[in-house]
Structure 1
Amino acid sequence: MNKKCAIIGTDDRLLYLQEELSSNLEVKLFSTMVWNEKLVQDIHEFQPHVMFFPIQAMMMEHPFTLPKSCEVLFIGKKFEEFESRERKVFYYLEDEQWIWDNANLTAEGFINYFYLNEKRSLYNKQFIITGYGRVGKRLAYALHHLGAKVIISVRSEHQLFEAKSYGYQIETLDNIIQKSEEQSTYLINTIPSKWLINTDASCFIKVFDLASKPGCLINNEDNIPINYVNPTSLPGMFFPQDAGYLIARSVQTQLSVLEEEK
């Protein structure tokens, strides 16, 4: 008899995760982002051995309890309910292979998003990318090879000169507002912290904030600039099948490691 796996979440990628895992597990998808009494009851009736939780933290409306059958948890964003549980816990957002593969899909997803919403070519357009982590690097590479002018802006001197070594223009994060006053440049933010004053968004043609919520705006509740967008989960938006298979590969790899350890 196959072990059971419960997948929780509403993301389209999870349908393909379910499809891939079903070859070795009995999988059931619970389409919700709310941890409530009904969900707890349904999960206890199903008695899963493996549970997959969504990337974003769920809304908690009921005490967090899991059936005794549950042996392994796959978690997206960390939150307190999981910290003291005596089960194997894997934070799939920290899987290095998944991070890089997902960064590739994010870069390609941004290009799709730009074409659909701006209805303009990337060629010869100027983009400032703030942040030079995995997503920033893959974006810079993709945009550069499509003929865009790429400027990398970070505070880290190490990352600045790494970017320069690949042929990109560089600028310190403290100077990009001053350098962009003519509103001739697009800004793509990948830094997951609040650093951009709302009124400074007007210095750019448009601000594409790819960081997870709450994004880069210092005041992100009121006076959202009209040229600011926060298109998160681009892989799920444009490539749910590919993105779902990437998550499945990460889950399957970890489960295989656990089997080998027994």
Structure 2
Amino acid sequence: MSEARWLLIGSDLRIEECARMFKEKGLDVTVHLKDEVTDELTNKIATIHPTHIVLPIQGVKGMLDSKLFSKGTVFFTGIIPGIQKMALKSEGHFVSSYLSDERFVWNNALLTAEGFVKEFYLETNTPIASTHFQIAGFGRVGRMLAHVLSASGAKLTVFARSEAQLGEAEALGFEVKNLSPDVEFKPGFLINTIPSQWLAIQPEDTLRVFDLASKPGCLKPGMSSAYYTLHLGLPGKHFPQRAASYLADTILRMCRGKE
């Protein structure tokens, strides 16, 4: 890895911090602080001939030309379209997702939960203690949300389709309800952690929805609400140094696994 030429791509603040950490370790690093494929990015690739590329969690807008890279280039990705992944692999490149690393995903989930708390305070001026939150989904982010919010005295109801998730949430002392197609939420706050477009909401609904899942969010196509907000990249937004350290450690650990 001593001769590796790194290119880190993305506007998330953790990307810039991760580049700084790599440079401190003596790595050859170039950074592109944008989330889209541009002529500027193409020129950087042609100039530095990167051997290792880090893409942002939410991916980049546009398609990277897989023929621009030397055969055997290593890509570390977040969310990546299947067609982009196939194009890279077909040219002999290696594609690994840091989102498959359990340690990274759990640490990122905890920072997401803490980032939500900051967003909630800023947007509502409401204390968490004794406030009722409805959480949709009880995966990693849902579990960390429940942990952080309950520790601050919140009242929680967990909605999920999975019996395993419902059972775990109930065993941990939370009220649980099945997330059925005709589910009705109480007035107040709903936090979505499910990465699919499942929620039908009417313009007159005043349910405050905080969506922490990836694009395009949880609203069904054509739905909108003045009380809905999509919150992406909370770890990088609120805790860039800690988030970057998790990303840098994970990528370097993945590199060692390839050696």
TM-score, normalising length: structure 1: 0.89
1:190 and 1:210 in contact (8 A); partners too: yes
User: Percent identity at matched positions?
Assistant: 34
Q: Deviations over 1:72-109 (max 9, x none)?
A: 11111122223223122211111111000000100111
Contact preservation (8 Å) 1:76, 1:93:
yes
Of 51, 70, 74, 2:53 maps to 51
3-state SS, counterpart of residue 226 of structure 1 = coil
CA RMSD between the two structures: 2.1
- Counterpart mapping for 1:53-72 below 5 A: 53-60=55-62, 63-68=65-70, 71-72=73-74
SS of 2:180's equivalent? helix
Q: Partner letter of residue 195 of structure 1?
A: W
**In 1, Cα distance between equivalents of 2:223 and 2:93:** 44
Structure 1, residues 48-79: CA drift from partner, whole Å, max 9, x if none?
22111222232327744333275311111122
Question: Out of 90, 104, 109, which is 1:103 matched to?
Answer: 109
Please say if 1:29 is aligned against 2:31. yes
Using the TM superposition, give the Cα deviation of residue 12 of structure 1 relative to its aligned residue in structure 2, in angstroms: 1.0
Counterpart residue type for residue 117 of structure 1: E
Tell me what 2:194 maps to: 191
CA offsets, 1:204-245, max 9 Å, x none?
2x11111111111113xx552111111111111111111111
1:163 to 166, 169, 180: 169
Q: 2:141 aligns with which of 130, 135, 139?
A: 135
Label 1:48 to 1:178 Cα distance change in 2 as closer, same or farther (>3 A): closer
SS of 1:202 mapped into structure 2: coil
Unmatched 5+ stretches in structure 1 = none
Q: Does 1:210 align with 2:212?
A: yes
Q: Deviations over 1:2-26 (max 9, x none)?
A: 4210111111111111011121410
Kindly provide the amino acid, as one letter, of the partner of residue 256 in structure 2. S
* Stretch deviating more after TM superposition (24-33 or 244-253): 24-33
SS class of match (2:205): helix
Equivalent position of 1:234 in the other structure: 234
SS in 2 for 1:171: strand
1:203 Cα deviation after fit: 5.7
What SS does structure 2 have at the residue aligned with 1:40? helix
Do the aligned partners of 2:206 and 2:227 also contact (CA within 8 Å) in 1? Answer: no
Q: Contact conserved, 2:203 with 2:224, CA < 8 A, in 1? A: no
Q: Which residue of 2 aligns with 1:249?
A: 249
Letter in 2 for 1:145: A
What is the aligned counterpart of 1:174 among 177, 180, 187? 180
Q: Equivalent residue of 1:35, what SS?
A: coil
For normalisation by structure 2, the TM-score amounts to: 0.90
Instruction: Indicate if the aligned counterparts of 2:59 and 2:77 stay in contact, CA closer than 8 A.
Output: no
SS at match of 1:188: strand
SS of 1:108's equivalent? helix
Aligned length: 253
Q: 1:233 to 1:38 in 2, by over 3 A?
A: closer
Shift in CA distance, 200/95, structure 1 to aligned 2, threshold 3 Å: farther
Is residue 2:21 matched to residue 1:15? no
Correspondence for 1:119 among 120, 125, 130: 125
SS in 1 for 2:251: helix
